[in-house]
């Protein structure tokens, strides 16, 4: 345990700058997502809220989506995202795409929360806290860590390609890289479960109370 803790602390110290860069990139996406909401005109907001309200009314009428379907779709979405980040880490030229994917994830979160708050105020904030926040408390760190690990591994490959001296075998770093993404997939399963069985139920209960 002490050895693992020492390795973790050393890893964080060595790559703190990259983690900070990824966090700032994600936060920038959230900010721009909120800015996009404010830059939309009245008609655009009304059109989008019309579809959102139809979704709310379907829930009130009892047409909720099955939890197992939400679990499956959520998990496969996270798998695809993490696999793409994993493969981009193996490709030196894929590094800018890693940045774009993380930025877009922040953009989506910022837009979703911003739109709900913009349209229904405090109730929108509560709805976002119930339906978006629970799974994202797990998902956001998972994506930031995945993007960071992908960037680190990609930079190590670049170093190996352009270094004149031998930097050791590539198998061990790859094994650690693969294992790390394995743990992230487990975390994604947990996040999908939270979304299907906690966030979805909380959202439905709040929407039904909202329309009573």
- How do residues 26-50 score in pLDDT, each as one tens digit? 999 999 999 999 999 988 899 999 9
- Inter-residue contact 136 to 108 (CB < 8 Å): no
Global pTM value: 0.90
Distance CA 188, CA 183 (A): 9
Residue 46 tokens, joined? 């009304």
Query: Residue 176 pLDDT more than 60?
Result: yes
If pLDDT is split at 50, 70 and 90, which confidence band does 12 have? confident
Distance CA 144, CA 163 (A): 28
Helix ranges restricted to H, 40-66: 42-60
Distance CA 97, CA 75 (A): 22
DSSP string of 75-103?
HHHHHHHHHHHHHHHH-GGGHHHHHHHHH
């Amino acid at each position: 345990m002490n050895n693992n803790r020492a390795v973790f602390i050393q890893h964080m110290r060595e790559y703190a700058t990259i983690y900070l860069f990824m966090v700032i990139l994600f936060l920038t996406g959230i900010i721009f997502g909120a800015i996009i909401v404010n830059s939309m005109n009245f008609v655009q907001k009304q059109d989008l809220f019309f579809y959102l309200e139809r979704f709310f009314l379907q829930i009130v009428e009892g047409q909720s989506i099955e939890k197992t379907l939400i679990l499956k779709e959520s998990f496969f979405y996270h798998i695809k995202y993490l696999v793409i980040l994993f493969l981009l880490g193996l490709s030196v030229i894929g590094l800018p795409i890693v940045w774009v994917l993380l930025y877009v994830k922040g953009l989506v979160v910022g837009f979703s929360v911003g739109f709900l708050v913009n349209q229904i105020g405090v109730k929108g904030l509560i709805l976002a806290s119930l339906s978006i926040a629970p799974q994202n408390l797990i998902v956001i760190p998972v994506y930031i860590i995945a993007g960071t690990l992908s960037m680190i591994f990609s930079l190590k490959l670049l170093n190996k390609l352009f270094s004149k001296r031998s930097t050791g075998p590539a198998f061990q770093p790859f094994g650690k890289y693969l294992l790390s993404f394995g743990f992230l997939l487990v975390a994604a399963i947990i996040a999908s479960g939270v979304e299907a069985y906690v966030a979805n139920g909380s959202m439905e209960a709040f929407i039904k109370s909202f329309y009573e």
